[in-house]
C-alpha cells in the first residue's frame, strides 16, 4: 500500500504455446558446469538494480578465485522484466537476476529459470519461512531469497496526539480515525490510482487465495470470503473520501504531502522508509511505527505480497554454470558483510535480510532520524511483523498480465466509476479466460 511501483506496469509477457508439464513448462536445468573444464575463473553475468549491489559484487570477486560476478545495473524492476524477456528469447540470458517473489511463477511458466533445489535446499534453515516460500514453485527452488518485507503502519505522532487518536489496531479503528482526520482536512492514507497492491495485500491478510493449485489445474478465485472482506474495508475508505489520490508518478509530491501532514499514515516496509528519510525536511522525528492493522477479532497477520514481497536472486535456465550461480547467490544472501551493505539505507536499499536471524539487522534497516524518540520501540514492531508474515500466498503463472488488467480497473475504482466488487467480478472472468488462452488448465 502506498508504494512506488513502476514494476506494476510491466507489459504482459507472451506465454502462449507453452509446452506444459503438469501446471508449468519444463523447469529443470541442465547447464551445470558446462565450462568447468575451461581455464580461468567461471564468469557469471548478474543483472540487478538495487543500491549496494556493486559493492557486494566487488566483495564477492575479491574473496573468490574461481568464480567471478560480472554485474550489469538495470534501471528498475520494470526494465528488468522487459530486458530479461528479450534476453531469454535471444538465448543470452544472464546467469543471475535480481527479482521479487511475485514474478517467480511467471518466469518458471515460461521455462526461463533453473531448478536449483539440489544446490540450495541444504541452506533452507538459514532463511525465514516467508522468504523461502517466495523462491519456490511446486516445491522446487528457482532462486535464493535476498530480502524480507516486514509490514507495519508508520504514522504522524504529532497529528494523532493533536486530535486524541491512538494508532489503529484494527481496520475498523483505521476507518474511524480517518473520519476524525477528515474533519480537519487530513487523509488517513493514500491510494495511488495506478497501484492496486492495496487490494492484494488486504486480501492476502484476510486469507484470500486468488490463485491455488488444484490437482493438475490452477484454481482462480477473486471473490472468496477473504477478498470480499478486504474489499469492504477499501470501499468504505473510498466512499468516505478518507484517502489521498496522489500518483507515484510524481514521487516528490507524494513525499511532500506526507512531510507537510496532508496524509497521516502509510502501511509500508523498511525499504520504503528510505524515500521518506531522503525527502522529508519538516517532519523528521515525528513518525512512529505500529503493527499492521488486523481485521476485527482476528490475530495479527502480515501480508507478504506485492511491494511487500521478498526479494530473490534467480538462476536462469540458460546459465551454463548453475551450481556456481546458486552458490554465488547464497553467498550474497548470507555473507555478513554483504547482508549489512544491503540492509543499510545509506549503503544499500534499507531492506530486511531474508535470514532466519534477521532481527540482528533491524537497527540498521530503520531510521532514527525519521523516528526520533520512537526509534527504539519501532524495533519490536518490526520483529513482531517478521513473526506473523503470510506464507501460503501463491502467485499465478500469468501474474504480470493479471496485475496490468487489475491496474486498469483500480483506476476506475479510485474515480468512483465502479465498486471494488465490480472489479473483482471482472478479474475473475478475465483471469480464467486469459489462462485458458495460454493453454493452461484452470478452474474458476
- The cell numbers describing 5, all together, are 511501483
Question: What pLDDT shows up at residue 21?
Answer: 32
Alpha-carbon radius of gyration of the chain = 21
Stretch (H or E) spanning 55: helix 53-63
Stretch (H or E) spanning 143: strand 143-145
CA dist., res. 107 & res. 112, Å (int): 5
Give Cα separations from 317 to 30, 78, 292 (angstroms). 8, 21, 38
pLDDT 10s digits, 290-323: 999 999 999 888 886 544 457 999 999 999 999 9
Give the confidence band of 361 by pLDDT, cuts at 50, 70, 90: confident
Q: Residues 334, 338, 342, 346: what is their CA dihedral angle, to the nearest 10 degrees?
A: 150
Tracing cell 475508505 back to the chain, one arrives at: 237
Q: Which residue, 23, 13, 393, is CA-closest to 218?
A: 23
CA dist., res. 206 & res. 405, Å (int): 22
Question: What pLDDT shows up at residue 36?
Answer: 41
pLDDT 10s digits, 15-59: 332 323 345 433 344 444 444 445 679 999 999 999 899 999 999
- Burial label for 242, CB within 10 Å (0-12, 13-18, 19+), is buried
- The cell numbers describing 433, all together, are 479466460
Sequence-ordered list of residues with C-beta below 8 angstroms from that of 195, at least 6 positions apart, any chain: 2, 3, 5, 8, 248, 407, 410
Amino acid at each position: 500500500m502506498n508504494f512506488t511501483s513502476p514494476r506494476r506496469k510491466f507489459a504482459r509477457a507472451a506465454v502462449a504455446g507453452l509446452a506444459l508439464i503438469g501446471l508449468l513448462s519444463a523447469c529443470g536445468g541442465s547447464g551445470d558446469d558446462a565450462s568447468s573444464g575451461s581455464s580461468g575463473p567461471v564468469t557469471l553475468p548478474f543483472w540487478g538494480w538495487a543500491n549496494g549491489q556493486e559493492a557486494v559484487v566487488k566483495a564477492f570477486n575479491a574473496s573468490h578465485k574461481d568464480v567471478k560476478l560480472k554485474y550489469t545495473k538495470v534501471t528498475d524492476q520494470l526494465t528488468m522484466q522487459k530486458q530479461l524477456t528479450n534476453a531469454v528469447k535471444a538465448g543470452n540470458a544472464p546467469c543471475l537476476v535480481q527479482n521479487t517473489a511475485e514474478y517467480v511463477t511467471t518466469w518458471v511458466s515460461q521455462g526461463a529459470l533453473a531448478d536449483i533445489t539440489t544446490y540450495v535446499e541444504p541452506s533452507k534453515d538459514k532463511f525465514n519461512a516467508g522468504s523461502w516460500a517466495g523462491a519456490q514453485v511446486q516445491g522446487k527452488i528457482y532462486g535464493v531469497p535476498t530480502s524480507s518485507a516486514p509490514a507495519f503502519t508508520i504514522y504522524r505522532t504529532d497529528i494523532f496526539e493533536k486530535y486524541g487518536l491512538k494508532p489503529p489496531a484494527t481496520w475498523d479503528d483505521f476507518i474511524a480515525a480517518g473520519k476524525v482526520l477528515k474533519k480537519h482536512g487530513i487523509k488517513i492514507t493514500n491510494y495511488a490510482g495506478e497501484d492496486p497492491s492495496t487490494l492484494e495485500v488486504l486480501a492476502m491478510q484476510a486469507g484470500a487465495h486468488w490463485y491455488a493449485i488444484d490437482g493438475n489445474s490452477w484454481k482462480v478465485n477473486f471473490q472468496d470470503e477473504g477478498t470480499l472482506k478486504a474489499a469492504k474495508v477499501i470501499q468504505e475508505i473510498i466512499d468516505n473520501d478518507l484517502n489521498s489520490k496522489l500518483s507515484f508518478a510524481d514521487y516528490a509530491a507524494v513525499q511532500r504531502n506526507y512531510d507537510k501532514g496532508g496524509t497521516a499514515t502509510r502501511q509500508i516496509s523498511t525499504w520504503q522508509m528510505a524515500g521518506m528519510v531522503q525527502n522529508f525536511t519538516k517532519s523528521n522525528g515525528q513518525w512512529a511505527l505500529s503493527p499492521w492493522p488486523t481485521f476485527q477479532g482476528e490475530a495479527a497477520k502480515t501480508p507478504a505480497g506485492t511491494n511487500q514481497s521478498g526479494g530473490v536472486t534467480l538462476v536462469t535456465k540458460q546459465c551454463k554454470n548453475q551450481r556456481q550461480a546458486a552458490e554465488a547467490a547464497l553467498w550474497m544472501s548470507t555473507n555478513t558483510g554483504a547482508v549489512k551493505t544491503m540492509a543499510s539505507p545509506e549503503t544499500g536499499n534499507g531492506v530486511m535480510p531474508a535470514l532466519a536471524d534477521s532481527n540482528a539487522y533491524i537497527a540498521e534497516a530503520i531510521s532514527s532520524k525519521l523516528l526520533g524518540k520512537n526509534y527504539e520501540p519501532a524495533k519490536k514492531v518490526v520483529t513482531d511483523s517478521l513473526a506473523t508474515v503470510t506464507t501460503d500466498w501463491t502467485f499465478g503463472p500469468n501474474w504480470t498480465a493479471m496485475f496490468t488488467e487489475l491496474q486498469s480497473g483500480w483506476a476506475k475504482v479510485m474515480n468512483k466509476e465502479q465498486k471494488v466488487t465490480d472489479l473483482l467480478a471482472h478479474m475473475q472472468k478475465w483471469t480464467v479466460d486469459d489462462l485458458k488462452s495460454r493453454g493452461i488448465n484452470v478452474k474458476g
